A and B are shown apart, each in its own frame.
Chain A
Amino acid sequence: DADVTQTPRNRITKTGKRIMLECSQTKGHDRMYWYRQDPGLGLRLIYYSFDVKDINKGEISDGYSVSRQAQAKFSLSLESAIPNQTALYFCATSPGKEVGQPQHFGDGTRLSIL
């Protein structure tokens, strides 16, 4: 079983719809992240959470919101989807404060907004 699981894997929806992407992990990591990836651009951080009560905006948080329901679950919502939010979305986790610990990624959600 995957350590970091994202659902759904693919989603096509229409402009204006509310969408939730879910991420769950069995790695026991405190830190969780949401990124989006667009062709020709690096991974861009949307939101991150260091624990259940600590949620922070990343580089491109406008139009997105998140919820950390438990240590193992971190959801990303698009309140009113627009076509330029079409992208590949990744959830990632990492352990606590140790420098040098890599982030571990889920398999991604490919989101298309028409």
Chain B
Amino acid sequence: GQNIDQPTEMTATEGAIVQINCTYQTSGFNGLFWYQQHAGEAPTFLSYNVLDGLEEKGRFSSFLSRSKGYSYLLLKELQMKDSASYLCAVMDSNYQLIWGAGTKLIIKP
């Protein structure tokens, strides 16, 4: 079967750095997406990785290792507004997105 694993919840301090991991087992691979979702709101797109390595976008970076079935989202200089759930999703061989359950990130002052 297809499976995406992420930690359920993480806590970090304002101004610090946090890494959210995602491991996956899917039927084929056409890229991995990270989305941010504030409580009760729509998911919004953060990043896309299809090749191994690190993609940097301001305070957010995303890393992919296809051989390990592993990705992480790195958030730097954390702000209170970063408190949200972070969703990992993999596009499989049928070009369908398989979603993880999301990681709830709590930022403390």
Partner of B33, one of A88, A102, A108: A102
Q: Is the CB of B42 within 8 A of A107?
A: yes
Min CB–CB distance B76 → chain A (angstroms): 22
Contact across chains for B101 and A100 when beta carbons are under 8 A apart = no
Q: Does B70 contact A (CB under 8 A)?
A: no
Contact status A99-B87, CB under 8 Å: no
Check if B42 sits within 8 Å of A105, measured CB to CB: yes
Classify chain B: how many residues form its interface, as a range.
20 to 34
Place the interface of chain A in its size category: 20 to 34
Q: In whole angstroms, how far apart are the Cα atoms of A15 and B6 in the complex?
A: 34
Q: Give the interface SS of chain A, mostly helix, strand, loop or mixed.
A: loop
A34 on interface, CB distance cutoff 8 Å:
no
Q: Do residues B97 and A106 form an inter-chain contact, with CB atoms below 8 A?
A: no
Contact flags A86-114 to B (C-beta < 8 A → 1, else 0): 00101000000001101111111010000
The answer to whether B50 and A100 touch across the interface, beta carbons within 8 angstroms, is yes
A45 CA to B41 CA, complexed, in Å: 18
Q: Is the CB of A102 within 8 A of B87?
A: no
Q: B43: which of A41, A58, A105, A110 is its contact (CB, 8 Å)?
A: A105
Q: How far is the CA of A107 from the CA of B44 in the complex (A)?
A: 10
What is the CB-to-nearest-CB distance from A55 to chain B, in angstroms, rounded to a whole number? Answer: 14
Nearest A residue to B33 by beta-carbon distance?
A102
Q: How far, in whole Å, are A99 and B91 apart by their CA atoms in the complex?
A: 9
Cross-interface CB contact of B101 among A40, A48, A90, A103, cutoff 8 Å: A40
CB-CB under 8 A from A40, the residues of chain B are 8, 101
Q: Say whether B99 contacts A42, CB under 8 Å.
A: yes
Contacts A88-B40, A108-B40, A110-B40 known; 13 new A-B pairs at CB < 8 A? A40-B8, A40-B101, A41-B101, A42-B102, A45-B97, A48-B96, A58-B96, A90-B43, A99-B95, A102-B48, A103-B97, A105-B44, A108-B41
- Top 8 A-B pairs, shortest CB-CB distance: A42-B99, A102-B45, A105-B42, A43-B99, A42-B101, A100-B48, A107-B42, A105-B43
